[in-house]
Structure 1
Amino acid sequence: MTITDDYVSVRYIVDDVQAAVDFYTGHLGFEVNTSFAPAFADVLRGRLRLLLSGPVSSGARATPAAVAGPGRNRIHLIVKDLEAEIDRLRGAGLAFSSELVSGPGGRQILLADPAGNLVELFEPA
């Protein structure tokens, strides 16, 4: 299955990737799309792509200590050129909530909306 713009992706930070995969696939009708356990897996149900990031994943590392804890979940927006997006948003006067982080699946950076909700900009590897 190919991930396209037809999916809505939400990242959940989890303590145990395999346990989360088992829960979502065994109980809620999701299907495994990819798995890099213990770091990361993503599961699909309809148009929802649930990104399950374990403690060693780049997605979990990208959450700064200042915003860590309950509520670290964020929407995940795929971009084609992360550097260009960072430059564009900084040019608009926005500040980022994290540094640029690279991992096995790609690169990401966090941005907070005016209410403090996190948005992850992600460029696949």
Structure 2
Amino acid sequence: MATVRYLVNDVDAAVAFYVEGLGFELAQQFGPAMAILKRDDLTLWVAGPAASAARPMPDGRRPQPGGWNRFVVEVDDIEARIAALKARDVAFRNEIVAGPGGRQILCEDPSGNAVELFQPA
């Protein structure tokens, strides 16, 4: 099982996005600081600004959400999932890209972290 940590601006908004939009289950929440979510073999820790993971580094840099690293959520019907997420005003970074292995698109959680939706060929 893999565990991924995403820094988020708002833990409650992140929980709603991942549970209602992508089918994760909420395993545990520690107030506004952090929540643990699960989907299949993936455990996702979402850490808010009050979490220890958000503390400044020794050189003064502050961890923040966003970037291009991402995890992949496999879906059976990419168009239906996109439509459902767009109805929730989820932002997308691109249009569907097709390759030999399947089709993919990047959406963003409420803090701007990328999530790849992938439908295998």
TM-score by length of 2: 0.49
**More relative contact order, 1 or 2 (CA 8 Å, 6+ apart):** 2
